[in-house]
Amino acid sequence: MHPAFSVVFFTTATGAGYGLLALLGMLGGFSLIPADFWLGLVGMALALGLIAAGLLSSTGHLGRPERAWRAFSQWRSSWLSREGVASVATFIPACIFGIGWVFLGRSGGWVAIAGLLAAIGAAVTVCTTGMIYASLKPIAQWHSRYTLPAYLIFAAMTGSVLGNALLQGFNVGSNAMLILALLATLAGWGWKLATWRYNDRLEISTTANTATGLAGGLVRSIEWPHTEENYLLKEMGFRIARKHSAKLRLIAQALAFVVPLVLLVLVFVAPWPLAALSSALAAIVQFAGVLVERWLFFAEAKHTVTLYYGLE
C-alpha cells in the first residue's frame, strides 16, 4: 500500500493524543494528578492539539477534502465514518473536563464523570481507527488479530510517555506514570515483533487462479491492463525492497522502543531538570520512531487487487 504521509501522521498523532487524553481524563478527574492550571492547560492543549492536527492531516489524503463532512453520514456501515463520529463526540466531554479541571481547578463529581467519558471516547475512537484497517479482508497483513490491539497498545504507549514528560516537566513526576510508560513501551515492542513475525510467515491463499476460478495450470497476464500507472497501482501496488524493509524495521525499533526505554530508565536516577529533559527526549524520539513504524505498516501491506496486474 502507498504510505501517504498524511495518513501516517494522522494515525501516529491521534494515537498519541487520545492516549494522553485518556490518561489526563482518568488521573486528573479522580485527583491522582494535581489540578494545576499550567500543567492542565499544557496537557490538554497537547492532547487536543495532536488529535486536531492528526484529523486535519487525514483530509489531505482525500480527493475532495471539502467533502469530508459527508463521511459522517455512513456510520451504519463504515468504520471510517464511525471514527469521525466518535472523534467529534469525544471532544464534548473532553472540553467539559478541561473547563472543570484546568479553568476551575476542580476534580471529582461532574469533572470526574466528564474525564471518564473523555477517556472512554478516546479508547472507542482508537478502536474505530484500528478497525478501518483490520476490517479490510483484501489486505491480509491488516486483516488479522494483531491490528486492533496494536492501535490500542501504541496509543497507551505514546500517551503514557507523553504523560510522563508532561509531569516531569512540571516537576510533579510520579513513579507510577514512569513505570506505566516503561511497561507500555515494552508491550508495544513485543507486540510489534509478534506482528512482524506473523506477517513474515503469512501465506496468502488468494492467487490469480483462485481469483479467476481456473483450477488447472498457472494463470498469468499476457499483457498489462494499462499502459501507464493508474490510481490502483499508485495506491495499492506500492512495493518496498526487502533490504530496505529490514533496515527500516531496525530504525523503527531503535527510535520507538530502545532509545525511549533507555531514556526512561535514566529518569529513575537523574535529578530534575535532567529527568524532565530525558523524559521529553524519550517522547520526541518515540514519536519519530512510531512514524517510521507506521510508514512500514502501510508500505509492507499487499492488496489482492495487484494480482490483476501480475504482481505477487
Give the pLDDT confidence score for residue 67 in this predicted structure: 61
200 band by pLDDT with thresholds 50, 70 and 90: confident
pLDDT (tens digit per residue) in 168-179: 999 887 889 999
204, pLDDT greater than 70? no
Mean pLDDT of 108-116: 94
pLDDT (tens digit per residue) in 129-155: 999 989 988 788 888 899 999 999 999
pLDDT (tens digit per residue) in 249-264: 999 999 999 999 999 9
Q: Greater confidence, 298 or 288?
A: 288
How far apart are the C-alpha atoms of 274 and 26, rounded to whole Å?
Answer: 27
Give the pLDDT confidence score for residue 232 in this predicted structure: 53
Give the pLDDT confidence score for residue 102 in this predicted structure: 93
Mean pLDDT of 96-119: 94
Give the pLDDT confidence score for residue 233 in this predicted structure: 56
Mean pLDDT over the full length of the chain: 86
Mean pLDDT of 274-284: 95
Residue whose entry in the numeric block shows the C-alpha cell 490483476? 308
Give the pLDDT confidence score for residue 230 in this predicted structure: 56
Choose the weakest-confidence range: 197-201, 221-225, 274-278: 221-225
> What count of other Cβ atoms lies within 10 Å of the Cβ of residue 193?
13
Give the pLDDT confidence score for residue 19 in this predicted structure: 96
Give the pLDDT confidence score for residue 101 in this predicted structure: 93
| Beta carbons within 8 Å of 44's beta carbon, 6+ residues apart | 21, 24, 94, 98, 101, 102
Class of domain 5-214+222-309: mainly alpha
pLDDT (tens digit per residue) in 210-259: 666 666 667 666 666 665 665 555 555 566 666 788 899 999 999 999 99
> What count of other Cβ atoms lies within 10 Å of the Cβ of residue 259?
17
84, pLDDT greater than 90? no
Give the pLDDT confidence score for residue 245 in this predicted structure: 84
% pLDDT > 70, the chain: 79
185, pLDDT greater than 80? yes
